[in-house]
Every structure is written in structure tokens, then in C-alpha cells.
Amino acid sequence: MVNIGVLISGNGTNLQAIIDGIDRGIIKGKIQVVISNRKDAFGLIRAKKANIESLYIDPAGCDAAAYDQKILYELKKRNVDLVVLAGYLRILSKEFIEEYKNRIINIHPSLIPSFCGRGYYGDRVHKAVLDYGVKYTGATAHLVDEGTDTGPIILQEVVKVDDNDSVETLKEKVLEVEHSILVQAVKLFCENKLSIKGRLVSIIDEE
């Protein structure tokens, strides 16, 4: 059984998708703790409803490295094997990434390397997609490295952009895909079916 720690900053719909995936037996893992950098994150309430330990860690007065050490302390205390960033809006420190190298999964609401990097998060991504006029967008589940949205890609899924889409309608379509591929990526990690060679992540087929 893989011990999972989930970091959030907001509503926690991707967290809910993981909780549901575990409950349905899709993911062979257990969420040991949910940690938020925002006290009012609704994801904390989702965790409590699911009887999962939830923590708010106040970032005030801490630089990035010191704050991450606080989180690392809580993760290690619970023997967390995999860290999932489910709408977590802070950049992780080098020390954090080294500690959990190739064991941090993030979900991003576009087809990386398009519409990603610093400043591209939440509704900003979907607005940029619509402003540019691309015909397809999607979501990407990837491993986290020291860059912003630059880690090796695990899974991607495409979403068609319709002419009448708004930020809100596009967000809803992409969210559905986010939930699906994040659950699948966590499932594959927990089953030890990801082979990582440089930037290439392959899915191990045991058949």
C-alpha cells in the first residue's frame, strides 16, 4: 500500500477524484494527510469528510525553503511515499524536489508545453487558450522537477475548444479530463508501472 500526501490550495476537486479512486479500489494507496497553504481551502473540508487527516500550515514569516521543510516534516512523519499536487499554487523548493525525486505528481490544465510555466494557473490558463484561438487544449499529469511545469509527462488527454466556449465552460471540460488522468497517473505509480528514463515516462505492460 502506497502512502500518499496531497498538497492543495483551493477547492480540491482533484483531491476528491483521488479519494473517490481509492474508495472504488482503482488506486492501491492511502492518503495519509492533506496539507494546505490556505486556511479557507475547501479541500480541507473534503479531507475531513473523508476522515483523512488535514493540516493548514501557515506560510507567513517563512521563506520557501523553510516552509517546505515544515511540510516535509509532516510528510516524513507519516511515511509518505508519493506527493500529489492537486491545485497547489506554490513552487516547491529544490530541497523538497530532491527529497521526493520522481515521486511528485502534478496536474496541469493544458497540454504541456503549451500554456504552462510561471503565471499559468487556474482560470488564467483557460483564458490564454481562448485568447490564442487554439482548437484543442487538454490536461497533463506530470512528474515535478525544479522548473515550473517542466517535469516528465506521464499522461495527457485532449479537449476540443468550441467556438462558443467561455473560460467557465472550458474549465469544466478540462476538469473532467484532469480528474481522469490524475487518478490514472496515481494508479500507475502505486502499481509501480511507471518507467522513468530522462524525460521519457513509459507505462510498463506486464502482460
Q: Print the domain residue range for 65.
A: 2-203
Which one is catalytic: 108, 126, 142, 179? 108
Q: What is the CATH number of the domain that holds 38?
A: 3.40.50.170
Residues 4 and 80 sit within 8 Å (Cβ to Cβ): yes
Q: Is 126 a catalytic residue?
A: no
Round to whole Å and give the CA distance between 175 and 8: 15
Number of domains within the chain:
1
pLDDT, tens digit only, all 207 positions of the chain: 999 999 999 999 999 999 999 999 999 999 999 999 999 999 999 999 999 999 999 999 899 999 999 999 999 999 999 999 999 989 999 999 999 999 999 999 999 999 999 889 999 999 999 999 999 999 999 999 999 999 999 999 999 999 999 999 999 999 999 999 999 999 999 999 999 999 999 999 855
CB atoms within 10 A of CB 113: 11
Phi, psi of 64 (to 5 degrees): -60, -45
